[in-house]
Chains A and B, each alone.
Chain A
Amino acid sequence: MSPFVKSPLSFLQYVFIIAGIQIGIAILSIPREMARFAGTDGWIAIVLGWLITSIPSLLTVQIMKGSPDGTILDLIKKKLGRWLAIPFALVFAAYLGGMAYIGLLRTLLIIRVWLLQNTSPFIVLVLLFIPTYIVTREGTNMLGRFAEAIFYFLCWLPFIYLLPLKEGQWLNIIPILKEGWLPILSAVPTVLFAYLGFIAVFFLYPHLTHKKHAGAGVLLANTITMMMNLLITLVCFVYFSPSEMIEVNQPVISVLKTIQFKFLERIEIIFISLYIGLYSLSWIPALYFMAYCLKWTTNGARVRSYLIGLLAFIGIGTYFYLPTFNQSVWLEYMMTRIGIVVEYILPIVIWIYLVIREKVRREEQLG
């Protein structure tokens, strides 16, 4: 039995893995970044980004249609040969590694600022590695189930954001397009960061049980991400005044600080803790795919041994050096740029290549 059939993914699991990566990596920074670039009109950029993302994500699915029983690496190997596939695998591995690292780093820094100020980040990292390892060692199927479970467990979380609304000021948002389209357009490249992660399609497609819904699935994932970002960004804009919005470092969390129940104060403490579950959806799949790429490159036997190596590497690295908040923001900017190349441009290039190749081959057959 092929490994892909043995580890099947249902439609929703596939959607949740992709949406998990997208949301986990960017949900915290998007409202602030949007406010920085486009003021209270930033939410329009989120919708624009969603429209733009549909194209490469659909192309990604289109590419994978040619490879129902192999990942992108198998596809490239089939079309271009193994030696050209290896650099691709390494690029993907490096990119995914970066993504996983940023996700982890974000979580560590958030925990450090908001929850455990005196605990060594290294120890927190070791703690986080426990569920990470348990999930990743089981493979794609487990990724899907975990993403699904976390999503259902935390699906009420966005609704909490409706509570600060009653103190908010909807008038903050109008007039729409107060400074014209220019600031909004300038925010679009940054907003794409929120949609990075549909690269997972490259690795998930062969596992899908209903392959014909793959395109709809990736669009659904994008939409979930968009709705989530839109909701939280709008709540932040409505709650904070335009000038305060830029002043606050993590508006997404600060806005929770104002919620108070009779029986519970400071619920943001609980929420930030729960957020760890959401963030984990970004680094867990990314780490797994990275390990998979490395395994594929070296023809290794088990993804698991690469995983242990990777975890150890990140752990030791963190023990000696942990980037600061500013550096992590810089890393995010870099990631956005690289991500645009890898996730937005690369699929288009591959797709064009495949189309031309197919045409040439057909003409040859005819001729």
Chain B
Amino acid sequence: MDNKTLTRGFRKYRDVATRVEPARTDPLEVDLRQNFEKLKEIFSNTPDLINRRFILKADNRQALLAYLEGLSDKSSINRDILTPLKQGTAEINGINDFPATIGEFHQLTDWGQVEHMLFAGYSILFIDGEKVAYACGSQGWPQRAIEDPQLETSLKGAHQGFVETGGANVALIRRYIPNRELKIKQFTIGARSQTKLSILYLSDVANIQTLNVLEERLSKLDVDAVINTGELAELIEDSPFSPFPQFILTERPDAASSQILQGKFVIVVDRSPSALVGPVNFISFFQSVDDYSTRWTIATFIRMLRLLAFFIAILLPAIYISVVSFHFEVIPMKLLSTIGQSRAKVPFPPYMEAVFMELTLEMLREAGVRLPAPVGQTVGIVGGIVIGQAIVQAGLISNIMVVVVAFTAIASFILPNYDMGAAVRLVRFAMMLFASLFGFVGIVVGLMTLIAHLLSLKSLGVPYSTPFGPVRFRDWKDTMVRIPIWLMKNRPTSSNAQQDTRQGDTGHPREDERH
């Protein structure tokens, strides 16, 4: 491959002429020496490729074990491949009775397969005189231990989060749903990255049409590389121009499993510590795992609180602007003098004040996110003191504005989903613009636009704003309210599940004892 194509790589990845060479199909040779030459030719400038030549003890043939250092588990290679082959006396009789004591084993016939397997972390065994090579499953790469999820912490939920290995993530989900109907479809995406995706779903529950949509989108996908789940979400979402997330990215296996049980699809992307859930609706961004492990009355209260917070986070600065600079007649007398006095010294018009403060808040937040924890705290303190006190004393911003901003900030942090929180912040600025131009009229038209936009959105072809538009009262049981779990007999209609009713038959837990 020449360098030119590499440098132009990303911009023209759709261009057929410059794409990665098609997979090799040339067959392996019988002669080990020839194979070795070829291997060196293909993997030139690959210092992490280890070639270990040795002699089989059983029949004294020459053999070559090749693997990529760092992608393989060295102790496993030593223990399970080299030791039995070099010391064992068992003869090699094809793939079914191979003396190596390792679980996964494949027989390879061409160089394309060899290349693929090597990159996947297998170690390849060439034996002189055989026209095939053997791939031994000795993968092992730097791996993080399973930890508490960072973004979606939970009080009572499980404390295992996804890691960067697709296989492990699938296993984590399987632990929750040990059922034969849990199907996994695998895709490989990315011409260069060869990222493995697994779609997980319950085959007797999930809707087949949605699966078709998903599969079609994935198979049409033709990109250079998919590094992260977020990239994948952006590539397959329905409305790329919308500020709202159309998939849930979760790093919690329990959340992913409960979505699967509702009839949704979960895509696990290898090398990425978050799974993608679809089709989702608007309200599912307000649900968190903890809702189901707290008492239902409290969970309901918290749900309402979140919805309220959503509206506060979107509207409060806009309402402030339009009240102060358009409709101050709605302020009661006592508040009027308070606001008037705090505004009197401020040189900026309300909308500039609001935009300035909101931007400062966003900067503080963004600064805090990327900094290591101790420094992040300092930023918070500096921001809190400087903005809360000094700016008011200096007469740059009014007291009331600081209160409004603080309120909005807290409200936007209540939203359990990070992506939704980000969308809310963006929408807030649009609302502020509308409000500063047209007052309440602007806010109402802005809200109408927002509602219309949410109604027109779809996630994998399923309406985004169900159960509110189209209205499905039956699904309201797990939206603004969360009814007791023993009453949630049906799966949400929004996922168009084939099997509508959940399995099991528990009514009220103490029903039988009452009689």
In the complex, A touching B, CB below 8 Å? yes
**Chain A residues proximal to chain B, CB less than 8 Å:** 10, 12-13, 111, 115-116, 119, 124, 127-128, 130-131, 134-135, 138, 142, 144-146, 148-150, 152-153, 262-267, 269-270, 273-274, 276-277, 280
Given A273-B441, A274-B444, the answer on whether A267 and B456 have CB atoms closer than 8 Å is no
**Chain A residue at minimal CB-CB distance from B454:** A149
CB of B438 within 8 A of CB of A264, answer no
How many Å from the CB of A115 to the closest CB on chain B? 5
Residues on the B chain within 8 Å of A127, using CB? 434, 438, 441-442, 445
- Any chain A CB within 8 A of the CB of B509? no
**Chain B residue at minimal CB-CB distance from A270:** B440
- Further contacts, 19 of them, CB under 8 A, given A127-B441, A134-B456, A148-B469: A116-B438, A127-B434, A130-B445, A130-B449, A131-B449, A131-B451, A142-B452, A142-B456, A144-B470, A148-B471, A149-B455, A265-B331, A265-B333, A269-B329, A270-B440, A273-B440, A276-B444, A277-B447, A277-B448
| Chain B contact residues: helix, strand, loop or mixed | helix
- Any chain A CB within 8 A of the CB of B468? yes
In this complex, the interface size class of chain B, counting residues with CB under 8 Å from chain A, is 20 to 34
CB of B332 within 8 A of CB of A263, answer yes
Q: How far is the CA of A142 from the CA of B455 in the complex (A)?
A: 7
- Any chain A CB within 8 A of the CB of B272? no
* A153: contacting residue among B329, B434, B451, CB under 8 A: B451
- Any chain A CB within 8 A of the CB of B443? yes
* B445: contacting residue among A131, A138, A264, A265, CB under 8 A: A131
Q: How far is the CA of A274 from the CA of B447 in the complex (A)?
A: 10
**Chain B residue at minimal CB-CB distance from A144:** B470
CB of A134 within 8 A of CB of B438, answer no
Within 8 A of A (CB), among B461-515: 463, 465, 468-471
Instruction: Show 13 residue pairs from A and B whose CB-CB distance is below 8 angstroms, ordered by the A residue.
Output: A116-B441, A131-B445, A142-B456, A144-B470, A145-B465, A148-B471, A149-B451, A265-B332, A266-B327, A269-B440, A273-B440, A273-B441, A273-B443
Residues on the B chain within 8 Å of A145, using CB? 455, 463, 465, 469-470
**Chain B residues proximal to chain A, CB less than 8 Å:** 327, 329-333, 434, 438-445, 447-449, 451-453, 455-456, 463, 465, 468-471
Residues on the B chain within 8 Å of A124, using CB? 438, 441
* B444: contacting residue among A119, A263, A266, A277, CB under 8 A: A277
Listed residue (B329, B442, B445, B465) with the most chain A CB atoms within 10 angstroms of its CB: B445
Residues on the B chain within 8 Å of A269, using CB? 327, 329-330, 440
How many Å from the CB of A145 to the closest CB on chain B? 4
How many Å from the CB of B314 to the closest CB on chain A? 14
Residues on the A chain within 8 Å of B332, using CB? 262-265
How many Å from the CB of A124 to the closest CB on chain B? 7
Residues on the A chain within 8 Å of B440, using CB? 115, 269-270, 273
Residues on the B chain within 8 Å of A266, using CB? 327, 329-330
